[in-house]
Structure 1
């Protein structure tokens, strides 16, 4: 197993603070949110942590609650910001299960791919708890 650093995208690595309003209130529009995320910058502090993890020899694994239909946009965003990674794990299309359920399954996929999450960056407190319960000792809630 190769040790990995795990980074969430929206709200963690990708600074979505300017578009969060699209996912709030009665008229939530996740399609508009994800489309607008293409223009969001990376968070400098989380990007620095990713670069540090890479320098320390950890695999860089990214995960997101975005549906798979946003994969190309996500890959373009990563390439546009020069963010190399060793794995990208996403929610399947039309999978509306809670984030903790989806990410618990993604953790299994990550392990099945021979990666052991040694540290993680996440903005969802419930998902951070899931990571700790799964044995990840260094969880950074941003």
Structure 2
């Protein structure tokens, strides 16, 4: 049966360590944070897992907290690193909703929970939200931020 895999991007598929300084220690330069995303390095083990899930026939839907104005760079990055996906959902330009609430809203509005095989995520609060919905969630890194 074809099912959906929900997958995060930043910190899950893409290593964002090189740009975290833009939003840490009192910095709030989200334009610079998102504007340097094309230089992210791939997190290969997670990308390999996503490729295997896609090869098994599952639909990969990327739910990203990145702003919509980063879509072109994001799509180029995904293509360059050969990340298979059927759908890319991104936050609105002026949407500051916390990631767990943002993704819960997307899931509740757009999906039947029974069609979701699993979620792949790094942030604790989003992992906890998926699990509270009764979904299996693979947490790929500690994400206490």
Same fold (TM over 0.5): yes
Give the whole-Å Cα distance in 1 for the aligned partners of 2:95 and 2:51.
31
Aligned residues: 141
Q: Is the 8 A contact 1:128 1:141 kept in 2?
A: no
Counterpart for residue 36 of structure 1: 36
Give the whole-Å Cα distance in 2 for the aligned partners of 1:115 and 1:22.
38
Give the whole-Å Cα distance in 2 for the aligned partners of 1:130 and 1:91.
17
C-alpha RMSD of matched pairs (Å): 1.9
Give the whole-Å Cα distance in 2 for the aligned partners of 1:34 and 1:137.
29
Return 5+ residue gaps in structure 1 as ranges.
Answer: none
Return 5+ residue gaps in structure 2 as ranges.
Answer: none
Q: 1:98-109, aligned counterparts within 5 Å?
A: 98-109=98-109
Counterpart for residue 85 of structure 2: 85
**TM-score when normalising by structure 1:** 0.89
Give the whole-Å Cα distance in 2 for the aligned partners of 1:94 and 1:55.
36
| Aligned structure 1 segments of 4 or more residues deviating by more than 4 angstroms | none
**TM-score when normalising by structure 2:** 0.88
Counterpart for residue 131 of structure 1: 130
